Amino acid sequence: MARHRHSLSDGRDLVYFDDPGTSLPPERSLDTRAAQPRPLTARMRQDPLTGEWISVAANRQNRVFLPPAHLDPLAPATPDNPSEIPSNYDVAVFENKSPSFGPLLTDADAPAGLDDLAAIGLGRSRTSVGRCEVVCFSPETEGSFASLSVTRARTVIEAWAERTHVLSQLPGIEQVFPFENRGEAIGVTLHHPHGQIYSYPYVTPRTQRVIESLESYGPALFADILAREQASERVILSGEYWTAFVPFAARWPIEVHMLPNRQLPDFAATTLAERDELAVLYRRLLRGIDAIYSTPTPYIAAWHQAPVNTHRSDIRLMLQVTSPRRAEDKLKFLAGSEAAMGAWIGDVAPEQAAATIRQAVESAAARDTDQSSEASA
């Protein structure tokens, strides 16, 4: 799988990942746009009630919002659309023009390390160091991971693995988070099939809660969760290397988790065989979720990875796909109890949700098989 590293006109990194057997030439066009100054790195402020850090990235107010297809900023550049990507591509990854974290990787005004960030005080502010990248799944202007071929899905997974490795080596990075937002109901501002990778200067609040659970339960927490779920009626898909299931205490109407069957801290630690199987199972899962209703399902597909410098042997790589869609024409909104108090109320029994999702996955897979048979006849 070939990779081609380039720079955009303002100095941002751009990496092309080619499908095996791609028809694209190895040469790629230069970014001929006039270089524009990058926005200053945002500042983050601490909430003293929770200790959490909030990045105030006002530059993101000016990002593109649902442009027409001919002005898609993630499509290959044309004379009429000087986009972010100068050449045609299979998969492309580049630094976000309007990042929530970065481009600075060090904070000259504050001591380094997590001890400084963990302290509680009033009026505390730090530089939002880090890196935010955009992962373009395809040159097509519409779609999602589910609409990719298995070959292209495998290329995206390779990009996630390599970028996780590279980003984890950068100074100041504590956690790397690949994710895909899909659908306007989630807040997507571009229809182009793409995801993002955030690299944080701290261990995220969600992962800190997982660490607290590990400290209370013990290092076998993920292994025991997986074993219990594999024995339940909530399993959706299973393979030699991966298992997908609706969790015992699902929060969302549609919520599926996927775990590797062995301890893996992040994508960079996966084997080629594990990546191969994941390309098939993950795509099948998302196509099934899309088949639950007559229109595509909005979702957040979040790949939780172990922090860069801690708990590498007991926090396991985990996919969490969540959707607020509770019926064909109804969404679950986070109102008083969930939004204000973090006290969740489930709308659908997890076992019922698992049966619905499993049936949709099986129906979508059968339909795909029939279409493949017709195409080859």
User: What b-and-e string marks burial along 153-181, b requiring 16 or more CB atoms within 10 Å of the CB?
Assistant: bbbbbbbbbbbbebbbeeebbbbbbbbbb
Query: For tokens 């390309």, what's the residue?
Result: 279
Dist CA 195 CA 177 (whole Å)? 11
At CA 264, angle to CA 216 and CA 357, rounded to 5?
A: 85
Query: For tokens 């003293």, what's the residue?
Result: 48
Query: For tokens 């107010």, what's the residue?
Result: 61
Query: For tokens 């092309």, what's the residue?
Result: 16
Dist CA 76 CA 82 (whole Å)? 8
Q: Catalytic residue among 6, 191, 192, 194, which?
A: 194
Give the chain's end-to-end CA distance (angstroms, integer).
31
Query: Letter for the amino acid at 170?
Result: L
Residue whose C-alpha is closest to residue 33's, from 7, 62, 56 = 7
Report whether 52 contacts 26 (CB < 8 A): no
Dist CA 300 CA 49 (whole Å)? 27
Residue whose C-alpha is closest to residue 92's, from 48, 59, 135 = 135
Residue 119's φ and ψ, nearest 5 degrees, are: -65, 145
| Residue 194 designated active-site | yes
Query: Letter for the amino acid at 112?
Result: A
User: What b-and-e string marks burial along 194-221, b requiring 16 or more CB atoms within 10 Å of the CB?
Assistant: bbbbbbbbbbbeebeebbeebeeeeeeb
Dist CA 236 CA 230 (whole Å)? 10
The catalytic site residues sit at 194
